[in-house]
């Protein structure tokens, strides 16, 4: 087998040239794609009983990639969205292969025909206004940690920021003294956007900056952890978990919901949609590269209406005729 078909040089050129220089990918994207390809290579090595360094490009054929994707869902219990994210990284690599090595075009093309899997629309993965308010109110305002936690939760809920955007903001990204306060979020793919800041969040941020002695135009992180360093994803998740643990005493239904920092983003999107905000405006607000991503919320909203109508019909039938199957009246 010719040397140019070995994986190592193709992987090296992919990460050094395509991702870093040509695509100007963010460190988070590079890390995500590296993880996906590392997992694929380890899977292929185990399946083919080869050392990773001995793998050739032809080993990563369409059937092997499909088997890898199946394992992600069936054995690792990954969601369809995670499976599709791994496939996106693999496809990106094979686009590079097709351009860098014409002799490998056939192998690359067969992998590139693997379709993205359609995900079932999850219509319950957002919170009502009352549930969001309960989480925001949960932290103890008598402690500095509690005040930070409340401000962070309020920031997620009011801006719809991704957790990476929320923990990444600095004081100089805020413009709170304007007639219309706003914050600059540094989004995925180096796409920045400006988001309005409502008055309750303005007050919370102003108090937090004052408590920490940070001038409003300093390039210092707003949200920090116990070691006075920028808050991490892990720390952000713990803030949400602490809030859930306290809020369930008031709203027990929260215990049955999959709550993470990202749910605040989904909840704001649904709130905007149900308030009549245009999809293109929601797309700009959330920083989606394509309106098709934003359209998921509209589809979820329609599905909620269908479910509500089915439930209403079932209740009406049950009241009219208590002998209806499965009637619990």
Domain segments of the chain as ranges: 3-112, 129-261
- What is the full per-residue pLDDT of the chain (329 aa) written as tens digits? 334 467 888 888 898 887 876 666 777 778 888 999 999 999 999 999 999 988 999 999 999 999 999 999 898 888 887 888 899 899 999 999 988 888 888 989 999 999 888 765 454 478 889 999 999 999 999 999 999 999 999 999 999 999 999 999 999 999 998 889 999 998 876 788 999 999 999 999 999 999 999 987 889 999 999 889 999 999 999 999 999 999 999 899 898 888 999 899 989 988 888 888 777 788 888 887 665 666 666 665 555 445 444 444 443 444 344 444 434 43
DSSP 3-state assignment of 328? coil
Catalytic entry in 18, 83, 126, 162:
162
Q: Contact, 149 vs 238, CB < 8 A? A: no
Q: How far is it, in rounded angstroms, from Cα 57 to Cα 42? A: 14
State yes or no: is 162 an active-site residue: yes
Pick the CATH number of 129-261 from 1.10.3470.10, 3.30.160.270, 1.10.443.10, 3.30.1240.10: 1.10.443.10
Backbone angles phi, psi at 184, to 5 degrees: -95, 115
State yes or no: is 120 an active-site residue: no
| Residue 279: closest CA among 301, 299, 294 | 294
Catalytic entry in 86, 96, 126, 265:
265
Fold held by 3-112? DNA polymerase; domain 1 (1.10.150)
Q: How far is it, in rounded angstroms, from Cα 230 to Cα 58? A: 44
Q: How far is it, in rounded angstroms, from Cα 298 to Cα 279? A: 8
State yes or no: is 262 an active-site residue: yes
Residues near 171 by beta carbon (within 8 Å), at least 6 away in sequence? 209, 214, 215, 216, 217, 218, 219, 220, 222
| Residue 250: closest CA among 156, 137, 158, 127 | 137
pTM here?
A: 0.60
Catalytic entry in 23, 110, 220, 262:
262
Catalytic entry in 188, 220, 230, 257:
188
């Amino acid at each position: 087998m010719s040397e140019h078909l070995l994986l190592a040089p193709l992987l090296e050129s992919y990460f050094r040239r395509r991702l870093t220089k040509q695509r100007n990918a963010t460190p988070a994207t590079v890390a995500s794609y590296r993880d996906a390809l590392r997992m694929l290579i380890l899977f292929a090595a185990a399946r083919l009983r080869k050392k990773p360094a001995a793998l050739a490009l032809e080993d990563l054929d369409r059937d092997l990639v499909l088997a890898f994707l199946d394992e992600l869902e069936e054995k690792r219990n990954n969601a369809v969205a995670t499976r599709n994210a791994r496939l996106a990284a693999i496809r990106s690599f094979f686009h590079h292969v097709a351009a860098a090595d014409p002799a490998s075009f056939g192998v690359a093309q067969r992998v590139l025909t693997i379709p993205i899997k359609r995900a079932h629309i999850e219509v319950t993965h957002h919170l009502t206004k009352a549930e969001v308010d309960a989480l925001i109110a949960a932290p103890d305002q008598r402690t500095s940690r509690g005040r930070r936690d409340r401000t962070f939760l309020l920031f997620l809920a009011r801006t719809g920021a991704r957790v990476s955007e929320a923990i990444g903001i600095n004081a100089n990204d805020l413009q709170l003294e304007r007639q219309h306060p706003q914050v600059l979020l540094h989004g995925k793919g180096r796409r920045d956007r400006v988001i309005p800041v409502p008055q309750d969040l303005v007050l919370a941020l102003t108090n937090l900056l004052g408590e920490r002695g940070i001038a409003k135009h300093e390039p210092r992180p707003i949200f920090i952890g116990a070691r006075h360093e920028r808050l991490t994803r892990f720390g952000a998740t713990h803030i949400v978990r602490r809030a859930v643990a306290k809020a369930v005493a008031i709203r027990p239904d929260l215990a049955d919901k999959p709550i993470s920092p990202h749910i605040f983003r989904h909840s704001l999107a649904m709130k905007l949609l149900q308030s009549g905000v245009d999809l293109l405006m929601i797309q700009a607000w959330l920083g989606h590269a394509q309106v098709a991503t934003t359209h998921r919320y509209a589809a979820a909203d329609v599905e909620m209406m269908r479910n509500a109508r089915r439930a209403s019909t079932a209740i009406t039938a049950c009241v009219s005729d208590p002998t209806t199957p499965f009637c619990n009246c």
